[in-house]
Structure 1
Amino acid sequence: MKKNKSIFIITCLAGALFFTSCSDFLNPENLSSISEAQQFDSTADTFSALVGVYSQLGGDDGYGQRLSLIIPQSGDDFRTSGSYNCNDRRGVATFGACPTNTELNNPFAKLYTGIERANLVIKNIPLSPVYQNGTVDDKKLMDRYLGEALTLRAQYYYELIRNWGDVPFYLVPASDVTEQNQPKTDRDVIYEQIIEDLAKASALVPWRSEGGTTSNRISKGAIKGLRARIALARAGWSLRRSPQVMAQGSNPTKYYQIAYDECKDIMDHSGEHSLNPSYENVFRALHSNSQDATNEVIFAVGAFGGGTRTDSKIGYYNGLKHDDNSNWKGGGGINALPIYFYEFTKYDLRRDMNVGIFKINNSNQAELVASNSWTDSKYRKSWTNITGPSQTLAVDWPLLRLSDVMLMFAEADNELHGGPSQEAINAVRAVRSRAYAGNLGQIGTIPTDKVGFFNYIVKERLLELGSEGIRKYDLIRWNLIASKIAETKQKLTDFINGVGAYANVPSDIYYKNSVYDPTKTAQQNVSAIDVYTIGSDKSEVFYLPTQSATIPAGYKKIAWRSGILPTYVNDPSAGYAQYFEPNKRELLPIYFEFIQNNPALTQDYGY
């Protein structure tokens, strides 16, 4: 790429912010051929270039599917449906992806396209005549754009690091790089730079209320939350190249302090972001490109347009299963591990939001499904206004929520002080209290010692953040991925055998189909299913042995515990996390063509 060669940017139609109504204002196929100097000679043109940086978040190869739903599998909560193939999404989910896996090439390239576009903006804003000689307001606006570009570049590098480890590092546009084929840079070097960049960006970008933005545009809160997340990753463990072992980052206290400070500042600005009283409504809002009532979603990737470049398959590829001849076709591509359902108590409102134990059949009725077919449930095509076979649903992807920030704060507080402060305990209790609304007496006791509180955070993040593309990366940075996979395999074996914690889980359940009403809550949907039980409390049926030796008249049988066979754990083609190897599979291979095209780039990690 030569200097002043045409910059590929996405043009914003009508000069309006696309973040409020993407489909109205943004045409992703309208590429500019304006030179760099011309592209940044006005605030409007600069904004168009910035929109081009944002555009790399979405689409099939971004957080519209692969970066959100496919590459983050598997943790101790979900897995990809289907049988193992090293060259597709199932290879990723079983930790057995090959370097020829085509799920990996486009996301990797897309992230670097985002970085290149960000580098163009970061380079050219300070050189712009508007920035140098414009009005105070113009310069303030250009500073904001600069801060947003720095943040997006940080997000793209963070995504690369958490999936591929050390990667080539570019801080200037390709036109300014003498040697295009760069080797890998140590991730800690990259972390240091992007943590510093985010501190700078935070001073340039306003809070949500000051900037008049929705969650689809970066605000000061989003920058601080991202900086905290990256700081915790820098403080934690990751798979190193030499020696090839999981190792903790140096000087972790420094980074715990950064995470603590940034999260606390967000929490102290409660007028900007607060917990939504309804856990469910946080996710329903994502289905209509709207802001949840209390701005709990601090930053979400907007989806729009109906195309693979800008829209999302969230709710179609994943989410509650809707049979092909129902009003809504889609869902079911991600399966909940059956033991995940039993991590929740029956009083926890998050259970039925995180785990879908029923599907919508061809008659638009709800019917229970076998435990090997449970799904994630926060995303549902029937929560959109789209019917029929459409695959793109314009469902936004939540990159950062306030509850995540509160739990990060509690974690950092615990690490810094050798145990949780009252403020940290209060933060966790607030998250948990929402989950137990109406049953606060069932919350239980929150530990006050360091180890106990840390383990509590590990569990609470499992319950709160299920199916949000976070769990696997949490387990890796805590150096728990190997032990949790082993623990999960043992829990699955106990589930199959009906022993230990699963001794009273029914082998089979008898039920009748029920009317499905998408306007009802997730909990109401489950409660409406007529399940057979000898007692009067039907909510107990999931926690009691099979209620009859024969199928009661008028009921159907569904395999509950019996739906999981030993092959679910150890079969080469279907086993959970079957190909995980400690100190080897915590990271993904780089797609082979990138290695072939860059002689300085190495594969590493035994691939």
Structure 2
Amino acid sequence: MNKNKFLSIFFSLVGIVSFNSCSDYLDVENLSNTAEKQQFDSAADTFSALVGVYNSIMGDNTYGQRMNLILTQAGDDLRTSGDYNANDRRGISCFGAVPTNTELLRPFLDTYAGIERANLVIKNIPISPVYQTGSETDKRLMDRYLGEALTLRAQFYYDLIKNWGDVPFQEIPSADLSSVYLPKTDRDIIYDKILDDLAKAATLVPWRSEGGTTAQRISKAAVKGLRARIALARAGYSLRRNPQLMMQGSNPQKYYQIAYDECKDIINSGQHSLNPSYEGLFRTLHTNSQDTSNEIIFAVGAFGGNSRTDSKIGYYNGLRHDDTDWKSSGGINAIPTYFYEFSKYDLRRDVNIAIFRVSTSKQEDLQTSINWNDGKFRKSWTSITGTSQNLGIDWPLLRYSDILLMYAEADNELHNGASQDAMNAVLAVRQRAYTGNLGQVGTIPTDKIGFFNYIVKERMLEFGGEGLRKYDLIRWNLLEAKINETRQKLTNFMNGTGAYANVPEYIFYKKPSSSVSNYTPSKTAQQNVLDIDFYVNGIAKADVFYSPNQSVATPSGYTKINWRLAMTQAYISGDPIKSYAYYFQPNKKELLPIALDVINSNYNLTQDYGY
């Protein structure tokens, strides 16, 4: 198959990944019609085909780096580090990506490769001889595999739609198509189809306790949670082709009801709960240990030390390490005002945002406000040292806290205000964040608008660095408003006005002697921050970020770090290389362009959205 043919159908070579054990994937191989039938003539062989579908959600091009860490930037919390270039990851974060951008092609094609693999499984399971001659146990397994394949295909289409809008829709294998040159299908049609598929899948896939399922494999809660997420996207806003405007989907109440019902089923199931420790939850992803609360409903697995099945989570993003033991790049920066969205009592602040980097001598070097990183994923929380980029850190695609907040959001929309159950759901998330300081949780509004705005902010605080924020803002039709609001907040931050009147211009801290290493990864993220020797000048150490400077002169032995003073007008607006979200245009940049190679290989495919 030549390159043009390959690109024109958007799918990888028709194939199934077989494997020798549950964690040992092999290369894709072409299958003849006979081989295709043989692949599904037993439950064991069918499972190996299903593993091939799971494999498509892993690796650099999907949830090992690009789909979760690069295409997701930027919202009002994080942005990609470095200077703007229309043809790389920074172009995406600045909303200036062009069709030749190098980050666009492989996520698109590899996602369609996953759809092709899923279609083969979905087609062949119902016609497999297992259904005629197999045991009842094998038949139940085949049903489960079918449900998992339907769910993964729904995830793949959701990933395509949220990034590219209307896309070609295919629910049969490529070999069964009369023409491979598919035009775009309206996203609402695709959404409705995959919502129906997920309703079916929920009847086939067991709850985690019933199926011996880990977070890396789809359970009934994963199916229902994904269905809720997609229903909220279907109910919300998206950029349409004609007219080219942000418009809400039809009959939104129907889809809010779906989200409400699915989340309520998960809550009532007793299968999942909040991990008592917000930080501890993410540490389990770094050590592949069991999250005993089952808060992580579905995680994309990572292993193998390669670009196909592993991830660069914690190396590409997260706390930056300059030391040789935990070398990592810190490729995502926190927008300075994001730090101040958290109160000083919120334990999520120091997990989500790393205000220091680790020096070559393993010391905590405090950074200026424009150089903070996201902090939820840290190489030093793994057992892997050296320069390795593949760390085996799983990606939390769906968490129970998301179920609680989606439930509360849908409840508010359906009932024109928050019910007590919705309030309790939000309160549970909030109270975990304020463990030890519950008196600082604050009051949750009950009116519809007030509660919605509370949800908007709470999701910002809860899911920082998890690739949800930009898409949340789009479905709420708030992306433009939040970008403009963030620019104003950055201006106030720079000038020390409004909410930032008491933010210091600079902070002094004392570096340890060159022979002392003061970064200890076994300590909590909060303790790492408090271990820094700040010059406090009579105030509590925890208040140093919230107190205006008392003295201009640098105290003896201390280093001066610009805090507010690091913010410049060039960061905020006016500089096409440096400025936050500089190239954003409403009713255009909510979606990405399709890679030029893809457009050129299908005469029925249009670029749209002004690209």
Distance of 2:58 and 2:25 partners within structure 1: 13
Of all paired residues, the percent bearing the same amino acid is 66
Secondary structure (helix, strand or coil) at the match of 1:447 reads coil
Contact 2:14 2:174 in 1 (8 A): no
> After the TM superposition, which residues 318-329 of structure 1 pair with which residues of structure 2 at under 5 Å, given as runs?
318-323=317-322, 325-329=323-327
2:82 equivalent in structure 1: 82
Distance of 2:117 and 2:25 partners within structure 1: 17
Contact 2:301 2:395 in 1 (8 A): yes
Shift of 1:289: 2.1
Question: Which string of whole-angstrom CA distances, capped at 9 and with x for unpartnered residues, describes residues 361-391 of structure 1?
Answer: 0111112111111010000000011111111
Contact 1:68 1:468 in 2 (8 A): yes
Distance of 1:53 and 1:464 partners within structure 2: 30
Contact 2:15 2:28 in 1 (8 A): no
> Partner letter of residue 609 of structure 2?
Y
Shift of 1:327: 1.9
2:569 equivalent in structure 1: 566
Contact 2:160 2:167 in 1 (8 A): yes
> Partner letter of residue 581 of structure 1?
Q
Contact 2:81 2:331 in 1 (8 A): yes
Shift of 1:535: 1.7
Distance of 1:567 and 1:184 partners within structure 2: 40
1:481 equivalent in structure 2: 479
Secondary structure (helix, strand or coil) at the match of 2:26 reads strand
Structure 2 length-normalised TM: 0.96
Shift of 1:43: 0.6
2:441 equivalent in structure 1: 443
> Partner letter of residue 171 of structure 2?
L
Distance of 1:561 and 1:419 partners within structure 2: 38
1:65 equivalent in structure 2: 65
Distance of 1:131 and 1:187 partners within structure 2: 34
> After the TM superposition, which residues 326-365 of structure 1 pair with which residues of structure 2 at under 5 Å, given as runs?
326-365=324-363
Contact 2:318 2:331 in 1 (8 A): yes
Shift of 1:198: 0.1
2:310 equivalent in structure 1: 311
1:193 equivalent in structure 2: 193
Structure 1 range deviating more: 576-585 or 131-140: 131-140
Question: Which string of whole-angstrom CA distances, capped at 9 and with x for unpartnered residues, describes residues 187-243 of structure 1?
Answer: 000000000000000000000111101100000000000000000000000000000
Secondary structure (helix, strand or coil) at the match of 2:103 reads helix
> After the TM superposition, which residues 260-409 of structure 1 pair with which residues of structure 2 at under 5 Å, given as runs?
260-270=260-270, 272-323=271-322, 325-409=323-407
Secondary structure (helix, strand or coil) at the match of 1:558 reads strand
> After the TM superposition, which residues 123-138 of structure 1 pair with which residues of structure 2 at under 5 Å, given as runs?
123-138=123-138
Distance of 2:153 and 2:129 partners within structure 1: 23
Shift of 1:30: 6.3
Secondary structure (helix, strand or coil) at the match of 1:111 reads helix
Shift of 1:536: 4.0
Matched, 1:603 2:607: yes
Matched, 1:13 2:20: yes
Shift of 1:547: 3.6
Structure 1 range deviating more: 529-538 or 346-355: 529-538
Distance of 2:519 and 2:49 partners within structure 1: 45
Shift of 1:112: 0.2
Structure 1 range deviating more: 514-523 or 351-360: 514-523
Distance of 2:65 and 2:292 partners within structure 1: 26
2:51 equivalent in structure 1: 51
Distance of 1:113 and 1:291 partners within structure 2: 30
Secondary structure (helix, strand or coil) at the match of 1:103 reads coil
Distance of 2:603 and 2:26 partners within structure 1: 33
Matched, 1:588 2:592: yes
Contact 2:332 2:373 in 1 (8 A): yes
> Partner letter of residue 273 of structure 1?
H
Secondary structure (helix, strand or coil) at the match of 1:605 reads coil
Contact 1:6 1:32 in 2 (8 A): yes
2:9 equivalent in structure 1: none
Distance of 1:32 and 1:49 partners within structure 2: 13
Secondary structure (helix, strand or coil) at the match of 2:238 reads strand
> Partner letter of residue 411 of structure 2?
D
Contact 2:494 2:567 in 1 (8 A): yes
> Partner letter of residue 545 of structure 1?
P
* The one of 508, 520, 537 aligned to 2:523: 520
Secondary structure (helix, strand or coil) at the match of 1:298 reads strand
**Compared CA separation, residues 6 and 425, structure 1 to 2 (3 A):** closer
Distance of 2:274 and 2:440 partners within structure 1: 20
Matched, 1:113 2:120: no
Contact 1:326 1:364 in 2 (8 A): no
1:540 equivalent in structure 2: 543
- For structure 2, the 5+ residue unaligned runs are 6-11, 513-517
Secondary structure (helix, strand or coil) at the match of 1:13 reads strand
Contact 1:289 1:302 in 2 (8 A): no
Distance of 1:579 and 1:28 partners within structure 2: 42
Distance of 1:557 and 1:131 partners within structure 2: 72
Contact 2:324 2:387 in 1 (8 A): no
1:21 equivalent in structure 2: none
Distance of 1:516 and 1:268 partners within structure 2: 42
Distance of 1:32 and 1:92 partners within structure 2: 34
Distance of 2:331 and 2:528 partners within structure 1: 21
Secondary structure (helix, strand or coil) at the match of 2:27 reads strand
Question: Which string of whole-angstrom CA distances, capped at 9 and with x for unpartnered residues, describes residues 66-109 of structure 1?
Answer: 00100000000000001111100000001100000010000000
RMSD: 1.3
Contact 2:506 2:565 in 1 (8 A): yes
Shift of 1:7: 4.8
Question: Which string of whole-angstrom CA distances, capped at 9 and with x for unpartnered residues, describes residues 260-316 of structure 1?
Answer: 00001111122x110000000110011122331211000000000010011100000
Distance of 2:14 and 2:115 partners within structure 1: 13
2:8 equivalent in structure 1: none
Q: List, as ranges, runs of 4+ consecutive aligned residues in structure 1 with deviation greater than 3 Å.
A: 30-34
2:582 equivalent in structure 1: 578
Matched, 1:549 2:552: yes
> Partner letter of residue 319 of structure 1?
G
> Partner letter of residue 393 of structure 2?
V
Matched, 1:413 2:411: yes
Contact 2:238 2:246 in 1 (8 A): yes
Question: Which string of whole-angstrom CA distances, capped at 9 and with x for unpartnered residues, describes residues 399-436 of structure 1?
Answer: 00000110000000000000000000000000000000
Contact 1:6 1:33 in 2 (8 A): no
2:218 equivalent in structure 1: 218
Contact 2:520 2:528 in 1 (8 A): yes
Shift of 1:28: 3.4
Distance of 1:30 and 1:458 partners within structure 2: 42
> After the TM superposition, which residues 234-245 of structure 1 pair with which residues of structure 2 at under 5 Å, given as runs?
234-245=234-245
Distance of 1:440 and 1:96 partners within structure 2: 43
> Partner letter of residue 606 of structure 1?
G
> Partner letter of residue 610 of structure 2?
G
Shift of 1:26: 1.4
Shift of 1:498: 1.0
Structure 1 length-normalised TM: 0.96
Distance of 1:106 and 1:7 partners within structure 2: 17
Shift of 1:132: 2.7
Distance of 2:209 and 2:96 partners within structure 1: 45
Contact 2:166 2:184 in 1 (8 A): yes
2:207 equivalent in structure 1: 207
Distance of 1:6 and 1:118 partners within structure 2: 13
1:22 equivalent in structure 2: none
> Partner letter of residue 586 of structure 1?
E
> Partner letter of residue 578 of structure 2?
A
Contact 2:148 2:205 in 1 (8 A): yes
